[in-house]
Structures are given as C-alpha cells and as structure tokens.
Amino acid sequence: MALQNKPVLHGYFRSSCSWRVRIALALKGIEYDQVPVNLIKDGGQQVTDQYKTLNPMQQVPALVIDGITLLQSLAIIQYIEETRPGPKLLPSDPHARAQVRMISDLIASGIQPLQNLHVLQKIGEEKVQWAQYFILRGFEALEPLLKQTAGKFCVGDEISMADLCLVPQVYNAERFKVDVSQFPTIERLNQTLTEIEAFKVSHPSCQPDTPADLRT
C-alpha cells in the first residue's frame, strides 16, 4: 500500500475516543497532524455543516489516512494495527484477542457513551450523578474481568487495544469523582500505563487545543 501524506486527526483534547487513537498513533510511532474540533465552543464545532460532511455522526475523532476518512476509535485503531508496523495492539492468539476486544467493547460501548458530553448535556442538572452511576456500574463489571485477564497490562503482559480504552476511562472516572481505589486491578493497571511515554504524550493535558489552565 502506498502511504500518502501525513495522517490528520480531527479530535478534541479531552475526548476519550480521540485519546485512544492518539495513544495508538504514539505507540506505532506514526507522525500526524491534529485539527482541533472544540466540542463546547459556539455550541460545538462538531455540529457544523463543514464537520458533518467529514463525520455524519458529528462526533470525534475522524482520522484522514491513506486517502480515506475513518470514524469510530476502535475501527481506527484496528486499521492502524493492520496497516502499520510496530507494537501489536491485538494479540495473535485468538483467545487473548477476543479478551482484548471484549474489554475494549465493554468500555467503548458499555461505559463511555453513557457519560459522554452529548448525553450529559441532555441529562442536565443530574449529569454528575448520572455519569458516576454508569461509570461505577461499568467498573463493577470490568474489575472481575480484568482480574481474570490481566498480567502487567489488561490482557497478559503486552499492551493492547484494551489498555488504550482503559486509561481514558479512568481519567473520566476521576473527573467525575469516582473513587477508583475500590477497583484495585483497574487502579493498578492505570498507574502502570500512565507511566508509559505513549500515554503521557497523548494525555489531554498536553494537546494543541488544551486550554492554558488545564496544561501541565
């Protein structure tokens, strides 16, 4: 496959889904450009007609790569995995690969969408309690699963797509004041992963669109 130009990631600094993709790009050593899509300013840049032509779901991220535009973070990560060399994000063993996908889907489908910005804007005043409820509910399911699958990382001792989903979700949990210490496996994995360079450089605190008061 002839690789064309530098990939362009349309995303938002604090978006979990954008962060997953940033981690994948960092782990694979892929240079890319970023186009910020502010989900709050002026009612949200994702709802403009211009962005809707790029992503009809009016969500982030969207990755322009190899002459195509890809949406949905897990689909993007799997495309990167299948087309780029570097650390494997999906294990070769079918059993372990299924576990990675199971954990990734549990977070990406079962937890994160229920506490994302668009949903919370619809909930209104009860948004914090709503987010806490669904994060806790998800973590109560995730913790025993990870006890079965985890080694150093979510599935065994190699970083996988599951880890790319876990760290942004723990970040969200802490934003909404969920006590992560009651989930020791989740807490341990997150502490290990956040010390890895690819997770650090992709962190919401150091992106081109990170507000000055949130930079570290």
In a domain, 215, yes or no: no
Same domain, 193 and 99: yes
For residue 4, name the pLDDT band (cuts at 50, 70, 90): low
Q: What is the CATH number of the domain that holds 67?
A: 3.40.30.10
188 versus 4: the higher-pLDDT residue is 188
| pLDDT of 3 higher than 60 | no
pLDDT of residue 1: 43
pLDDT of residue 98: 98
- d(CA 107, CA 116) in angstroms, rounded, equals 12
Containing domain of residue 175, as a range?
A: 94-199
Same domain, 81 and 101: no
pLDDT single digits (tens) 35-90: 999 898 878 889 898 899 999 999 999 999 999 999 999 999 999 999 999 999 99
| pLDDT of 203 higher than 60 | yes
Q: What is the CATH number of the domain that holds 139?
A: 1.20.1050.10
For residue 201, name the pLDDT band (cuts at 50, 70, 90): very high
Same domain, 140 and 190: yes
What's the domain count of the chain? 2
Same domain, 171 and 108: yes
Lowest-confidence range among 19-23, 63-67, 90-94, 116-120? 116-120
42 versus 111: the higher-pLDDT residue is 111
Same domain, 155 and 61: no
pLDDT of residue 41: 86
Percent of the chain residues past pLDDT 70, beyond the cut: 98
pLDDT single digits (tens) 130-143: 999 999 999 999 99
List all residues 6 or more positions away from 143 whose beta carbon is below 8 Å from its beta carbon.
183, 184, 185, 186
For the entire predicted model, the pTM comes to 0.95
